[in-house]
Structure 1
Amino acid sequence: MSPGPVVDLHPNLLPLAFLLGTWRGEGVGGYAGMDGFRYGQEIVFSSTGRPALSYESRTWWLGEPRDGRSEGSPLAIEVGFWRVQPPDGDGPPAVEVMLAHPFGISEIYVGDVAGTRVDLRSNVVIRTATAREVNRSERLYGLVEDGDLAYAIDMEAEGKPLQSHLSARLQRVPSGA
């Protein structure tokens, strides 16, 4: 997904301005009953001037071939939108994130943004009849040393309790690269 033309950021989105751009790096994943794995990832946050950031993430396999996957094989894609609601009183701004996955799951998260940290909790998870059972997730995104974007995703699925699933550290890709 191309970030498109440069536009003014809607004022509601100023708390998320630190996310704008293309981020690329590596992560690790695993879950109860699943062997750990490494993956590459690119995330693009872009603005069209409307009060929602567009979001697209794609991942690919890194490492030795396994389970029919080889280096560079596509893994997952998620697309969606991030919105900010002004704070009530002295609290932090509220963040709403809507995501769709091609394997039959859509999620809505709610959370807070404080500085360059965003904490999200599942609000709604819906799935098709053929999608795997995912009950809830929690996500944490934030800038870390050197201005990298790090995140962690915990998931409750397939009758297992909430536990670590994915984490990555991504570097901002210079515009035009």
Structure 2
Amino acid sequence: MAHPHDLAPPPIPADTADLTSGPPLHDACRPLRALVGVWRGRGEVDYPTIDGPYRFGQQLTISHDGRPFLRHEARAWLLDADGAVLRPAAWETGWWRPQPDGTLELLLSHCTGIQELFHGEAAEQRWDLTTDSVVRAPTAKDVRAAQRSYALVDDDTLDHTEHRAMVGVEMTPHVAARLHRTR
């Protein structure tokens, strides 16, 4: 039996975060075209129930394989006051699904046992989303709702903010990050 590392890639198109290579971006994904890429930067996380604020680093990869959706993966790590990495933090994966009526769906699964379905719209260089539903594992935090915004400051800078209603607190700012396109 072949070792998994000896296997050839699957016989299907690989996803790409580079619009100059791989399959063409599906027409349905045009409202999200500017998000496709690898973004990395820093931000701050705070909430009334944590002893914050905390600084973090984040990498967001938005890629496609030519079908009418985008793949989303974001990984974060906590930073000390000097910017040194303390430990891994949040990790989420999911899919952006543009709809024919111009609306967007964003499905996210978090390593903390939370799944969220966001619904929203694309405006010029801005994407605003609100949860339609939140599903939690029995051991996950009591998250009831969330709002996210992604906005291009320029071609190579993406601002991301998030508000959350969780653990008995109404909708409150939680995350703000500035990410820069790395490719």
Q: Same fold (TM over 0.5)?
A: yes
From 39, 57, 77, the counterpart of 2:74: 57
Corresponding position: 1:121 with 2:130: yes
Q: If you compute each CA radius of gyration, which structure gives the higher value, 1 or 2? A: 2
Alpha-carbon distance in structure 2 between the residues aligned to 1:71 and 1:42: 13
CA distance in 2, matches of 1:105, 1:21: 25
Shift in Å, 1:146: 5.9
Aligned with residue 140 of structure 2, among 131, 146, 149: 131
**Contact 1:3 / 1:44 at 8 angstroms: preserved in 2?**
no
Q: Distance in 2 between matches of 1:8 and 1:63?
A: 41
Secondary structure in 2 matching 1:18: helix
User: Alignment partner for residue 76 of structure 1, among 82, 86, 90?
Assistant: 90
Number of the residue aligned with 2:9 = none
Report the secondary structure of 2:46's partner residue: strand
Change (3 A) 1:142 1:8: same
Distance 2:86 2:61 in 1: 19
Q: Secondary structure at the match of 1:51?
A: coil
Distance 2:43 2:49 in 1: 19
Unaligned runs of 5+ in 1: 88-92
Secondary structure of the residue aligned to 2:96 is: strand
Aligned-residue offset at 1:71 = 2.0
State the 4+ residue runs in structure 1 displaced beyond 6 angstroms.
none
Look up the SS of the partner of 1:73 in the other structure: strand
Q: Distance in 1 between matches of 2:66 and 2:154?
A: 29
AA paired with 1:16? Answer: L
Q: What is the CA–CA distance in structure 2 between the aligned matches of 1:72 and 1:18, rounded to whole Å? A: 31
Structure 2: how far apart are the matches of 1:48 and 1:3? 6
State the alpha-carbon separation in 2 of the partners of residues 122 and 41 from structure 1: 22
- Helix, strand or coil at the partner of 2:170: coil
RMSD: 1.7
CA distance in 2, matches of 1:133, 1:115: 33
Q: If the length of structure 2 is used for normalisation, what is the TM-score? A: 0.85
Cα deviation, residue 72, structure 1: 4.3
Aligned length: 164
Give the Cα separation in 1 of the matches to 2:59 and 2:143. Answer: 23
Q: Give the conservation status (yes or no) of the 8 Å contact 1:113–1:119.
A: yes
**Which one-letter code corresponds to 2:85 in the other structure?**
E
TM-score for the superposition, normalised by structure 1: 0.88
1:22 and 2:38 correspond: yes
Which amino acid in structure 1 is aligned with residue 29 of structure 2? L
CA distance in 2, matches of 1:72, 1:13: 36
Cα distance in 2 for residues equivalent to 1:61 and 1:136: 24
Task: Give the aligned partner of residue 90 of structure 1.
Answer: none
How big is the shift at 1:147?
Answer: 3.4
Pairwise CA distance, 1:63: 1.2
